[in-house]
A and B are shown apart, each in its own frame.
Chain A
Amino acid sequence: MLTGQNALVTGASRGIGRAIAIELASQGANVAVNYAGSEQKAQAVVEEIEKLGVKAFKIQADVANESDVKAMMKEVVSQFGSLDILVNNAGITRDNLLMRMKEEEFDQVINTNLKGVFVCTKAVTRQMMKQRAGRIINVASIVGVAGNPGQANYVAAKAGVIGLTKTTAKELASRNILVNAVAPGFIATDMTDELTDEQRQGTLDMIPLAKLGQPEDVARVVRFLASEDANYITGQTIHIDGGMVM
């Protein structure tokens, strides 16, 4: 249980982030729902969480913008009194073959998906160091481990997140701040809805469990990493991919 814990989930208005926010709330955590543009969807997540009997509010911020993020951390601590769990989930895709990928497509994805994790982690560390406790869970991707054609930017960012997770775990372990990553495989979300039927079938052929994952499959592992059950785990990347990459 996460009763009385306070969490912030970035990119929580839909997909995996939404499922994580709801899962943490279902275990008793109060949840700040960060979003970039989808205000109405973020509001719907807040309402769903409030039905579970815990506190929630939505907060707009671009995770790659340091002043936005500092203000967001301040707001969360002022509303909740502490910040115990940070889930760095916000991410975008701008897929293209390497030879066709524009510099700005590369930069945008690195900015949100990698720099965003750095900025949010740095900003939350101050609070967590004072508390002498905290959990940071980064949503990476299995393609950051295995590579994926057409996603040079996304793969580079997610591989970066895995490295960042390990370094942050080592730097902050002495302060009882545990940092782990999850690496989802193909999960049924808006992001994977964009696959063609052919791509989808090709993907399924690579998955021993022969089905797409659900956002809740990822959310439950994040909840575990945020809980006392994971007290002796830090710096790890847990694959949630139906056995795709072993």
Chain B
Amino acid sequence: MAEVFDRVKAIIVDRLDVEEDKITMEASFKDDLEADSLDVVELVMELEDEFDMEIADEEAEKINTVGDAVNYINSKQ
């Protein structure tokens, strides 16, 4: 669990250029991390590569917070 969170966090820091302590499980990509909708699409693409999985568009649309992403990845591993 922690390991997935750390890997997701590293990608977010790299992509969105935000400070690490802002990235919590509850943080919303759009509201708290200042991502626009294209940023979120891109993050999902990076997560797919990092975790070697395909996230269907319908699933990707439900990912709003860091926790949503981490939980989704955990549920598939």
**C-alpha gap A65/B30 in the complex (Å):** 33
Contact with A along B36-75 (1 / 0, CB 8 A): 0010001001000000000000000000000000000000
Chain B residue with the shortest CB-CB distance to A127: B45
**C-alpha gap A129/B38 in the complex (Å):** 10
Is B45's CB under 8 angstroms from A130's CB?
A: yes
* Interface: A174 (CB within 8 A): yes
| CB of A11, distance to nearest CB on chain B (Å) | 27
Majority secondary structure of chain A interface residues (helix, strand, loop or mixed): helix
* Interface: A126 (CB within 8 A): yes
Contact with A along B8-47 (1 / 0, CB 8 A): 0000000000000000000000000000001000100100
Chain B interface residue count, CB cutoff 8 Å, equals 3
| CB of B54, distance to nearest CB on chain A (Å) | 11
Interface residues of A in 165-179 (CB under 8 A from B): 171, 174-175
Is A175's CB under 8 angstroms from B38's CB?
A: yes
Residues of A within 8 A of B38 (CB): 171, 174-175
Residues of B within 8 A of A129 (CB): 42, 45
Chain B residue with the shortest CB-CB distance to A129: B42
Residues of A within 8 A of B42 (CB): 129
A residues apposed to B, CB below 8 Å? 126, 129-130, 171, 174-175
B residues apposed to A, CB below 8 Å? 38, 42, 45
- Which 7 pairs of residues, A with B, have the shortest CB-CB distance? A129-B42, A126-B45, A174-B38, A171-B38, A129-B45, A175-B38, A130-B45
Would you give 7 A-B contacts (Cβ < 8 Å), ordered by A?
Answer: A126-B45, A129-B42, A129-B45, A130-B45, A171-B38, A174-B38, A175-B38
